[in-house]
């Protein structure tokens, strides 16, 4: 008789799907933004309103703020590999206007935005009373804002279980924030059940998602 296959248990830290990474770097070379704007069609430059130039990359789809100091801010990508790819494309375009980058730029992630679901219907009103560091104003916004201090992260929780996480800067922080969310929400639900309160209509499940790093 064949042995039954054990069901794989998904971990909460595998839950979120990264939607956007904001990263910065320095090329350590001065850049003529006016020249870059004149010669490259995928740029937007209005120095009267903003000191930086917007350079748009088609693949991977992203936008890069380029400053005359050589500092860059990259947004719109979904992995560190894509950040590197975008920066390499920027360096190639700068080479066309005579700017030769001599270093391998160091990438600094400033913020990760990720989305997912806890597969659990939530009563946000009662949950906001049970969790610390929350903000819930349903007349102004349908989601509950829940802030973690360690690691620093902010969650938007919705009644259907959908969520958005912002504020983490690497994979480890993202995973740890999900562990803490899962732990804290489960503890809150347990306390509410003991009090006779209602926070959910469906059984709690482990959080699920994919790792994009």
CATH number for the domain including 182? 3.30.310.10
Quote the percentage of the chain above a pLDDT of 90.
71
Residues 6+ apart with CB under 8 A from 206: 9, 10, 11, 12, 182
Which one is predicted more confidently, 196 or 209?
Answer: 196
Domain boundary among 109, 128, 158: 109
Beta carbons of 68 and 32 less than 8 angstroms apart: yes
Q: How many independent structural domains does the chain possess?
A: 2
pLDDT the model gives residue 16? 79
Partners of residue 111 on adjacent β-strands: 22
Q: Each residue of 45-61: pLDDT tens digit?
A: 999 999 999 999 999 99
pLDDT above 70 for 25:
yes
Question: Across all residues in the chain, what is the average pLDDT?
Answer: 87
Burial degree of 126 (CB within 10 A; 0-12, 13-18, 19+) = middle
Which one is predicted more confidently, 180 or 206?
Answer: 180
Q: What is the extent of the structural domain holding 181? A: 118-195
Do residues 101 and 175 share a domain? no
Beta carbons of 82 and 109 less than 8 angstroms apart: no
CA 139 to chain centre: 26
Which H, E and C letters describe 128-185, residue by residue?
Answer: HHHCCCEECCCCCCCCEEEEECCCCEEEEECCCCEEEEEEECCHHHHHHHHHHHHHHH
pLDDT the model gives residue 213? 43
Do residues 188 and 132 share a domain? yes
Q: Using alpha carbons, list the distances in angstroms from residue 66 to 26, 46, 50, 91.
A: 10, 12, 11, 11
Nearest to 15 by CA among 168, 185, 150, 212: 212
């Amino acid at each position: 008789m064949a042995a039954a296959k054990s069901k794989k248990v998904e971990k909460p830290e595998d839950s979120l799907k990264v939607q956007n990474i904001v990263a910065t770097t320095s090329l350590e070379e001065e850049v003529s933004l006016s020249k870059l704007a004149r010669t490259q069609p995928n740029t937007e430059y209005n120095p009267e309103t903003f000191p930086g130039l917007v350079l748009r990359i088609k693949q991977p789809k992203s936008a890069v703020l380029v400053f005359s100091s050589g500092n860059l801010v990259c947004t719109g990508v979904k992995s560190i590999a894509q950040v590197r790819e975008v920066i390499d494309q920027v360096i190639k375009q700068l080479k066309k206007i005579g700017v030769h980058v001599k270093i391998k730029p160091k990438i600094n992630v400033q913020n990760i935005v990720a989305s997912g679901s806890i597969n659990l219907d939530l009563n946000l009103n009662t949950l906001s009373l049970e969790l610390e560091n929350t903000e819930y104003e349903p007349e102004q916004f349908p989601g509950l804002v829940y802030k973690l201090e360690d690691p620093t992260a902010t969650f938007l929780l919705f009644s259907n279980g959908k969520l958005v996480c912002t504020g983490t800067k690497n994979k480890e922080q993202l995973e740890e924030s999900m562990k803490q969310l899962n732990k804290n929400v489960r503890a809150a639900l347990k306390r509410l059940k003991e009090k006779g309160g209602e926070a959910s209509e469906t059984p709690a499940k482990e959080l699920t998602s994919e790792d994009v790093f």
